[in-house]
Amino acid sequence: MSADPANLEHRRARSGRATAHVAALLAVLALGLGLAACGKLLTTAPEPGDLFDAPLDGLSATELAAFTEGDAQFGRPFSVTEGLGPIFNNVSCASCHSGDGRGRPENALTRFSRGTDPAHDIGGPQLQDRAIPGAEAEQLPAGVDRSRRLPPPVFGMGILEAIPEADILANADPTDSNGDGISGRPNWVTPPDFLPAHGGAPVVGRFSRKAQVSSILEQTIAAYHQDIGITTDFLAVENTNPLASVATEAADHVADPELPAAAVRSVVAYLRMLAPPTPGADSPARDRGRVVFGTIGCVSCHVRSFRTGPSTIPALANRDVALYSDLLLHDMGDGLADGRPDGQADGREWRTTPLWGLRVMRAFLNGQAFLLHDGRARSVAEAIEAHGGEAAAARDAYQALPEADRAALVDFVESR
């Protein structure tokens, strides 16, 4: 690399976030054009419920100030002189998470390992395909299990974290004791040593594609370290390329840790207070779709709702959430298998994805949709068709529906 990569990525990140807001605004303006004949034109900004980066309702002034500060940290691009690298994937959190919503294929990350071994001896568990000057980016080693995954949405993470563990476990049925063909199970994970006061006891994972992450703090620390190459007070040793022909850490001249704990916690607070977009208004077709969604068995995994427990953030506490996920692992069949384990999740299992933010996803993705773990599905219908394994019966029932019922179901899901 002959030049500092941060400048270009900074512009892209800023442009991407701006484009997302502009796209949503244009959608509102387009509606306003229909009123032009009456001498009226809608020029107001999108409602908070139409965005991926809006705060929860009911936050205090102090919490909103913390939210704003964390938002700035989330969008901050790092340069080489600020500790970027030595190997990395992108220069900021916002560069991967478009508008804090669904990622795009060009931002997909590759995770790899040999069997259940994270393969740290060969640079796992994530491929860092970029490097600062003087360092050497990773190449995917031979003979490893690999999995290409889109960055997941980050809105609603505080809600997921606030759901009591016991309520998640109440839906688990690892041996399919009721014989319905659905055997969801938790991904029991042991929090890493860099987390404070974790105690070493396994906890239920609930974040990332295979529920291999247990907390927002863990997700944030690991993302700084793996995605951006930024060390923190929690994880102060640089991530390096063990197969490089040169010592990659020698290229990074910034003292470790490169980011203090206060900045990390600021981002955690921001992520915790991000609101999911609001679902669309009900209609007769969507009401019908909701019924069909339940009738053919989709709700066996996409559980309609949870209730959060106590929280230090009152806006998160004791609230009902239309999540449409059980946050458990399910075997999704050969078609979606990636062959790569994560924690206790095997190469055929995925965490049930919450159904939220779908109503506005295309406004932030230039009219497109990228669904499933790798973005292969470009519509809800394609995503349903790709379901297999435990979801095969529901998929088959969907395929057998009259066209009107299939359309109503898709309309309902896309209204979330």
Beta-strand pair 320-321/329-331: unpaired
pLDDT at site 31 = 39
Q: Which amino acid is at 321?
A: V
Q: How far is CA 126 from CA 47, 226, 374, in A?
A: 37, 7, 15
Nearest alpha-carbon partner for 87 in 267, 228, 298, 285:
228
Domain span at residue 147?
Answer: 6-155+212-272
Under the phi-then-psi rule, with left for phi > 0, alpha for psi from -120 to 50, and beta for the rest, what region is 387? beta
| 160 occurs within a structural domain | no
Instruction: Say how many domains are in the chain.
Output: 1
| 69 occurs within a structural domain | yes
| 404 occurs within a structural domain | no
| 388 occurs within a structural domain | no
| 88 occurs within a structural domain | yes
| 199 occurs within a structural domain | no
Tokens for 68?
A: 């704003």
Neighbouring residues of 161: CB distance < 8 A, sequence distance ≥ 6: 206, 215, 216, 272
| Cα angle 245-251-252, degrees, rounded to a multiple of 5 | 135
| 369 occurs within a structural domain | no
Q: How does pLDDT run across 145-181, given as a tens digit for each residue? A: 999 999 989 999 999 999 999 999 999 999 999 999 9
Q: How does pLDDT run across 219-267, given as a tens digit for each residue? A: 999 999 999 999 999 999 999 999 998 777 789 999 999 999 999 999 9
Residue with tokens 């230090």: 312
Q: What pTM, to 2 d.p., does this model score? A: 0.87
| 342 occurs within a structural domain | no
d(CA 164, CA 26): 39
Nearest alpha-carbon partner for 84 in 261, 219, 227:
227
Neighbours of 29 (CB within 10 A): 14
Nearest alpha-carbon partner for 90 in 69, 104, 107:
107
d(CA 145, CA 339): 6
Nearest alpha-carbon partner for 229 in 86, 369, 340, 388:
86
Q: How does pLDDT run across 56-111, given as a tens digit for each residue? A: 999 999 999 999 999 999 999 999 999 999 999 999 999 988 766 777 888 899 99
